[in-house]
Amino acid sequence: MRSPNLKEEVASINKGTSKTGVVVVHEVFGLDDYARGVARTLANSGFWSVAPDYFRGERPSSLEEGMRLRSSLKEEDVVNATNLAVQELRKQIGCGAKIGSLGFCMGGGFGLLSACKLNLDFCVDYYGAMENVDLLDGGKFPILLILGSEDPRVTPWAYSSFMPAATKCKRRVAVELYPNAAHAFHRPGWNGHNKEAADDAWKRTIDFLSALK
């Protein structure tokens, strides 16, 4: 799969009022109303945003189809797609722009990967794992990691792999662990959705972005 063509997405960048821009990295379900809604909500809070289509127009009809599309993406596809969005945000925001990533599940891991490879200004990772945690040694951007206590895969990864690597390379990391929250608890309509945790996590996300200097 080639890197996404961002022509359509770039044309619909959500304008903000601050100098902060956010690349929203979608879940395994592709660029859907949820991902677009997150980008619009960020703009309503003053942050420029864009949600690239990493699956290049393909819409998975099931979780299994989404996983197939995910596995077809190469690391350079992900990073190049993010970089195109970053460059367009930088161009539109102008001097002093701070650009980072925000993603959920697959998108959280992809966002973290891109932030490390591109040395972005920040990363907000909602329950997304990155395979090679040694990449954390690249760049010194702050990270907000949001986890659910009942996530059987990502939360153990965070404490057994991510945090030791972050500690070793002296990274600034804020971790929010929500009790009784499953994987993908932020996604409305998902069977593990936890509105109380989702609302609080979003508030902390906005606070994190607002505090960037």
Domain ranges of the chain: 7-210
For residue 132, pLDDT beyond 80: yes
Average of per-residue pLDDT values in the chain: 92
Q: Of all residues in the chain, what percent carry a pLDDT higher than 70?
A: 94
CB atoms inside a 10 Å sphere around CB 21: 27
d(CA 20, CA 189): 29
| 130, 112 contact by CB (below 8 A) | yes
pTM beyond 0.95 = no
Element holding 65 (H helix, E strand): helix 63-72
pLDDT surpasses 80 at 2: no
Spell out the alpha helix ranges (H) of 25-150.
33-44, 63-72, 75-93, 106-118
Domain spanning 7-210: CATH superfamily: Alpha/Beta hydrolase fold, catalytic domain (3.40.50.1820)
pLDDT band at 19 (very low <50, low <70, confident <90, very high): very high
